[in-house]
């Protein structure tokens, strides 16, 4: 499956002042696969080392950080010489070997001719008590597959190219829009975890997809027990499992006391930060005023939580796939939450800008606020084709933004100040504004 991050990897390979690379991200998002594909495509040889599967590799880094000795010993394990420029050295699950992480500093300073790319979970890298080589490594964050990557994996190359190359104002025929809508419903079910996507492409067997999704959820919960303090484990599990319920509430706001009766913010804040640092959960804070910089006006005490993948949210919610595919009326209540999670995922993958939401008393709420260039852009999310947006109208009346966005299932790309953006194009927001 083609991944957009491959372009970033090629750019890294061609950099004049290239540093060792860490590709981080949540488990199962495709880090190992993309690095091996990158090696097969762009190098004569790859030397692959997995610190989780082979704990004995750690011994190579124990005595000192002599890079030539390390390369020699790794070459002996690999079975052939690791050559500068032509061999890609892959350190997989590098978070399992703290000294291997530290060694990257010495490869940067003393042996930059070697191409070293590492895959690691955000969770492990954040939590390992090691001297992280700040400024001595290049970093790329990888995410689950975006909607356009999913479309491409489904064999719809032209539809994917249209999204990737979309420019503002281009009209989309209804028949084409209907194809995107059908694929988007499938994406809500399957999500962007590569193994789940591949299973869906190969078999169209939802039970197989759900088995994979459940395995991924189980692996995340296993990580809770593996990496967290034992006293925090029940808190992590409780927060994680409460997110679908919290998103189902009318205003989606996360309330600590709803996790478990009697638990307060101070009891759960560390566990929540743990989930955020692991990349499993996105925290979207309220802002009081939509002014630059947005971070100066955020309220950390009021926020919503979303998951890193819409398919995992759907599975964790125990929402049957059929009610989404068939647009069942019993799906009405949670439809908005799932759609918001999708929009947030697409915005996170396509932009480095922070994302917030805005509330005016109890009267109005705009789903997302973000920055596009010099513009603060409010985004109203609609799960279906109803594009009435009273909250957005109130926001516009109060702050007079140059641009605002309504995104929905409606196949409409009209508008100047209020831009109509179909959900399947929301990843192109920076190009549209």
Domain count, the chain: 2
Q: Do both 372 and 425 map to the same domain?
A: yes
Res 124 pLDDT > 80 = no
Q: How confident is the model at residue 122 (pLDDT cuts 50, 70, 90)?
A: low
Nearest residue to 189 (alpha-carbon basis) of 251, 223, 147, 224: 147
pLDDT at 251 over 80: no
Q: pTM for the complete prediction?
A: 0.93
CA atoms of 423 and 92, how far apart (whole Å): 35
pLDDT in tens, 259-316: 888 788 888 998 899 899 889 999 999 998 999 999 999 999 999 999 999 999 999 9
> Both 167 and 198 in a single domain?
yes
d(CA 389, CA 367): 11
The pairing of beta strand 298-307 with beta strand 355-360:
unpaired
* Separation of alpha carbons 314 and 320, rounded Å: 8
% of the chain beyond a pLDDT of 70: 97
Check whether residue 370 and residue 272 sit in a common domain. yes
Band (pLDDT 50/70/90 cuts) for residue 229 is: confident
pLDDT confidence of residue 126: 52
Of 77, 106, 141, the domain-final residue = 141
pLDDT at 37 over 70: yes
Q: Considering 141, 170, 191, which residue would you say is the last residue of a domain?
A: 141
Q: Are residues 175 and 307 in the same domain?
A: yes
Residue range of the domain that includes 316: 147-432
| Lowest-confidence segment of 42-51, 149-158, 363-372 by average pLDDT | 363-372
Choose the final residue of a domain: 141, 159, 175. Answer: 141
- Distance from C-alpha of 401 to C-alpha of 9, rounded to nearest angstrom: 37
pLDDT at position 129 is: 52
Shared domain check, 131 and 74: yes
CATH number, residue 104: 3.40.50.300
What pLDDT is stored for residue 252 in this prediction?
Answer: 81
The answer on 266 and 125 residing in a single domain is: no
pLDDT of residue 230: 78
């Amino acid at each position: 499956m083609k991944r957009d991050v491959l372009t970033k990897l090629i750019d890294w390979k061609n950099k004049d002042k290239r540093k060792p690379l860490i590709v981080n991200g949540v488990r199962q998002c495709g880090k190992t696969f993309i690095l091996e594909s990158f090696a097969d495509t762009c190098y004569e040889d790859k030397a692959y080392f997995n610190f989780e599967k082979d704990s004995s590799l750690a011994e190579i880094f124990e005595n000192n950080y002599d890079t030539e000795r390390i390369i020699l010993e790794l070459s002996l394990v690999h079975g052939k010489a690791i050559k500068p420029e032509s061999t890609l050295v892959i350190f997989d699950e590098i978070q399992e070997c703290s000294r291997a992480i530290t060694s990257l500093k010495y490869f940067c300073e003393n042996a930059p001719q070697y191409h070293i790319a590492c895959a690691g979970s955000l969770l492990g890298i954040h939590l390992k008590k090691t001297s992280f080589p700040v400024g001595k490594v290049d970093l790329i964050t990888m995410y689950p597959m975006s909607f356009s990557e999913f479309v491409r994996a489904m064999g719809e190359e032209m539809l994917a190219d249209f999204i990737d190359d979309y420019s503002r104002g281009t009209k989309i025929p209804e028949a084409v829009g209907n194809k995107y809508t059908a694929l988007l419903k499938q994406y809500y079910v399957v999500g962007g975890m590569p193994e789940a996507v591949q299973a869906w492409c190969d078999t169209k067997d939802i039970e197989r997809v759900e088995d994979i999704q459940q395995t991924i959820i189980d692996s995340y919960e296993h990580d809770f027990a593996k990496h967290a303090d034992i006293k925090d484990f029940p808190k992590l599990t409780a927060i994680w499992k409460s997110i679908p319920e919290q998103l189902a509430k009318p205003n989606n706001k996360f309330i600590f006391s709803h996790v478990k009766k009697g638990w307060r913010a101070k009891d759960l804040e560390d566990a929540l930060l743990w989930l955020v640092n692991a990349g499993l959960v996105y925290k979207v804070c309220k802002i009081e005023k939509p002014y630059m910089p947005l971070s100066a006006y955020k309220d950390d005490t009021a926020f919503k939580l979303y998951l890193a993948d819409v398919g995992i949210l759907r599975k964790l919610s125990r929402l049957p796939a059929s009610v989404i595919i068939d647009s069942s009326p019993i799906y009405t209540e949670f439809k908005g939450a799932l759609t918001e999670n999708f929009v947030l995922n697409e915005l996170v993958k396509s932009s480095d800008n922070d994302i917030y939401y805005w509330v005016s008393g109890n009267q109005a709420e705009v789903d997302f606020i973000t920055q596009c260039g010099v513009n603060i852009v409010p985004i109203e999310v609609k799960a279906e084709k109803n594009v009435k947006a009273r909250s957005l109208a109130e926001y516009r009346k109060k702050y007079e933004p140059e641009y605002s966005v309504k995104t929905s299932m409606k196949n409409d790309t009209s508008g100047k100040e209020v831009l109509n953006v179909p959900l399947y194009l929301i990843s192109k927001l920076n190009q549209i504004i």
